[in-house]
Amino acid sequence: MSRPRPPLHRIQKPPMTPRKLKMVIFGGLLLLIGVIWAVVIVIQPAIQRTIVITTGADDGIYRGFANKYAPLLKKEGITLDIRPSTGSVQNFDRLQDPNSEYEVGFIQSGTTNDADTSNLQAIAAVSYEPIWVFYRTSNPSETIDRLAQLRGKRVSVGVPGSGLLIVANQLLKQSSIDTSNATLLQWTADQAYAGLEAGKLDAAFFIGRPDADMQQKLLKSNLKLMNFAQADAIVQVFPSLSKITFPRASTSLVDDLPQHDVTLLAATAMLVAKDTLHPALTYVLLDSANEVHNQEDYFTPRGYFPNQNIQDFTLSDETKRYFKTGRPFLQRYLPFWLANFIERRFLILLPFMALLIGLLQAIPKMYEARMKKRLVAWYREIKSLEDEIWDTKNPSVEHIAQWRNEIEEIDANANHIRIPHQYFNEVYALKQAIKVVRDRIASRSPTVS
């Protein structure tokens, strides 16, 4: 007679194969690497705390903007590293270089020409930059209101690297003026002012706000300010320029200077960044720009700047969202560093939170399945035993004895199954199944008539 098989012998699983073992180990390693990667991202600094900005001359308008931004950014824990430059052109070259340390800068509209700007993005248009043409004539009654009237004259057009030089040359070229029919000099603003006063120049281009020191000196001098009579036509040719009006008596109400409204052209100062600038820093810069540039002046109502009226560069996605809904929710109510910390960690923890929620929902079902699994193994053993009973046509005494031993062992093990009381009905259902098979064995016994 063969030795009776122990319970669960019929359904025990074969040992794990080497191939399956390797797959399990490989999956575990991938999971470990993923956990380590997430931990490294969580503990690393959120973003840099310094922004390198390229401005312009130390006494220029761009430097003035940056000086006003710095304390506002400092409140958010961000240091603004201000670097001077020769002007808009150099700022553009610095930002266009992907390997440079410069991340943000001011660029004058119309100075990029057809250059590739794909790696740059505009944060906002922040201010008009009025273009002034002051001139002197030997005839007090002579008035210049068209650029074509500068033919044959000595004209200062700005310095190399400045946006003014590019715009001035473009405007003069459109009026058929070049070095063949005029003397075009690349002088600084101070040199041009001194040249006009000394009679060494006939006219000069300047750029800047009316409250700047140089503009105040020019406006209060005996020099004449050109009124751009053709401004409407010019802005059609040069969309990067705008037509603005300097109101009568803006310089002095007492002296009534100027004595009539003056039509000027204006470029637009744009705050531009590399497309690698962290989005959170873009929002902080936009807040600073809004604080500095939203005041009313001679040319624009309150709140006109900063704005999205930019053609030279692609607007950043953060700019579009900012002007639509403002800063992100957390940044509105928490300190910048804390909001950014939470946002970054939230993005990292989001999939883990989703996994946790799914796990919490699955735990009760997993627990129930585990409890039932303790019984399922015995059900499978019983089913296997019952199948053998049915398949054996003429069981011998030894078969009957073996079957009885197995069913009694199953019954004994069922009595020792540890299971919560809410699953006791499952235990009694198992016992009922055991009784059915025990009766089946008894019915197959040769001694039964």
58 and 28 co-located in one domain: no
Residue 28 domain flag: yes
Among residues of the chain, what percentage have pLDDT more than 90? 50
129 and 193 co-located in one domain: yes
Last residue of a domain, one of 293, 327, 361: 327
- Residue 41 confidence (pLDDT): 57
Residue 235 domain flag: yes
- Residue 2 confidence (pLDDT): 44
- Residue 1 confidence (pLDDT): 42
Task: Dump pLDDT digits (tens) for 203-252.
Answer: 999 999 998 899 999 999 999 999 999 999 999 999 999 999 999 999 99
Report pTM: 0.66
- Residue 352 confidence (pLDDT): 65
CA distance 203 to 225: 10
- Residue 107 confidence (pLDDT): 96
- Residue 174 confidence (pLDDT): 96
SS3 167: helix
CA distance 144 to 219: 16
282 and 367 co-located in one domain: no
- Residue 449 confidence (pLDDT): 41
179 and 132 co-located in one domain: yes
CA distance 249 to 256: 5
Last residue of a domain, one of 327, 342, 358: 327
304 and 397 co-located in one domain: no
24 and 90 co-located in one domain: no
Residue 5 domain flag: no
Amino acid identity, position 256: D
Task: Kindly state the tokens that stand for 44.
Answer: 């690393």
Asked if the model's pLDDT at residue 333 lies above 70, the reply is no
Reported in sequence order, the residue ranges of 349-435 that DSSP labels E, i.e. its strands, are: none
Residue 92 domain flag: yes
298 and 376 co-located in one domain: no
Task: Kindly state the tokens that stand for 222.
Answer: 């005996």
> Which residue's structure tokens are 């020099």?
223
Distances (CA, A) of 190 to 89, 155, 214, 299: 20, 14, 8, 25
Distances (CA, A) of 223 to 138, 262, 394: 11, 14, 128
What are the respective helix, strand and coil percentages of the chain, to the nearest 5? 50, 15, 35
22 and 93 co-located in one domain: no
378 and 318 co-located in one domain: no
Task: Dump pLDDT digits (tens) for 159-211.
Answer: 998 899 999 999 999 999 999 999 999 999 999 999 999 999 999 999 999 98
The answer to whether the Cα torsion of 31, 35, 38, 40 is positive or negative is negative
CATH number, domain of 311, equals: 3.40.190.10
Residue 343 domain flag: no
Give the DSSP letter of residue 231: H
Residue 261 domain flag: yes
The parent domain of residue 408 ranges over 18-32+350-444
C-alpha R_g of the chain: 42
Last residue of a domain, one of 327, 362, 390: 327
182 and 317 co-located in one domain: yes
5 falls in which pLDDT band (50, 70, 90)? very low
275 and 392 co-located in one domain: no
- Residue 329 confidence (pLDDT): 61
Task: Dump pLDDT digits (tens) for 53-63.
Answer: 999 988 888 99
- Residue 331 confidence (pLDDT): 66
Mean pLDDT (the chain, rounded):
85
Residue 107 domain flag: yes
8 falls in which pLDDT band (50, 70, 90)? low
Residue 345 domain flag: no
241 and 379 co-located in one domain: no
Residue 109: what are its φ and ψ, rounded to 5°? Answer: -60, 145
Query: How many domains is the chain built from?
Result: 2
